[in-house]
Structure 1
């Protein structure tokens, strides 16, 4: 199946007072029609900047795309004006903080309805009816009464549902959700993820989930793309990657997540912190935190290659993949 979204060797740089930062360094991945792909990694790994590049909203003048390609349904999203024409109509995004994304001085129903007025020429009455239907679809209780409420009158979870409603207004083929459950409690997180999964299935759209939380996407995503210091370090089917981690970063993330139905064991967090993007170590950027590191890791940057002995599509960028696979243990268990 051909990819709906194809990102190849994407590079994004930012000019800062301290120097030039390469926030995304050669990222490549595909998203097939109807597929859910999770972009995972710690803060600063380049996930959100990758999404901004896809949407054509990299902050300027500091940020700029310096290399690579981004194609959506055969169209070049990096060509001038292309992303802007598709944004909202075919590619939509749910941002991390709904309170700052929603306009505090306009009623929620007005903000949702504006999508229909601006893009489809709907009347106020038609836009209001469409907004009401969307609010019902995303599970906002008493939607008729909440249409005229302001964003501050909604809880965090309900504001996120409003953002999802706005993103779905024009029935996009691709939805990007950037940390959609940040700052929400565990119960509400689960509800939002279930909502996204249901809507994705109903609409048949592709979904890109950006998160640092491994557990949030475990039962939702089809494939996972692990990023570290702006680079893709491992990718593959989500259960395959979770149970047979081929990169020490992925393995370390798995070891730091508690397993409810497994034996009681002390968690083993990854030592150290993500590198300063202005002063990346030579060779593999994960080397200073890696227990598998050896001399070759300082000499050459590893490239993304097929994980030996694993199914097609499972790839990792590590000089010692075979050792990591040999030591890896499954962390997901059947219910």
Structure 2
């Protein structure tokens, strides 16, 4: 499946759409403003949409000083138009209150995730030293460079496939305030070549000492990850562990259940999985004080004697 709806909440706030060209609606309390301008131009030539640039600049001029949380949706047609990262960076002085940013909130109808032209997102952290939450969605050209950021608490990257270079750059970053890390590892078909070994510094507890939630989601290697997490030093300090949206099966679940204690967790999210009913029930029963989500069970496809499992977000 692909993304079928826009975010309704972000950074603990309801999302409110910005009317392009009109006044902002009246809101009751803090919101996350969502700015998007979709249009199709097959001659765009992989550059920033001029229509988006002008309209977004108008929005910043109108509301910039008061914007604390921002969701950026379609920036033209994201398969042809590149993400407005440079424009967002250039607008930093006019968005002084910005603390949360979601770049790439698009449905599959607006642009399939693997087609989205995003590029290196780490300049956003350099441009916004007070940013606390960064969520990014993107495709095979999604990139990251090692960066130091003193205030970032939450980093989430949604993708059909994250490269080992991307994962390595995140783990090489200095993020002392980070408590929540979410990586959608995906599949090799969409550039997701990161393996358990590439996550070794994270699993060993050597990175991000404040980490309390770890999401290794939408992964084709979910069983391998679960086996590694069964004895990973990072797990005892976590409050929430998320292996959802991937291809987790009985092998991985058995490793988790038979590994180090998980009773300290407040939440174990395994939804969208390939567990048998018996295994799913036994995992939940073994952790009575933990919110265990084993909803959305999947059935593998059988073809020519082979069994195939699929991550939730692919194409």
TM range (shorter): 0.3 to 0.5
TM-score (norm 1): 0.33
Task: Say which structure is richer in helix.
Answer: 1
Name the structure, 1 or 2, with higher relative contact order (CA <8 Å, separation 6+): 1
TM-score (norm 2): 0.34
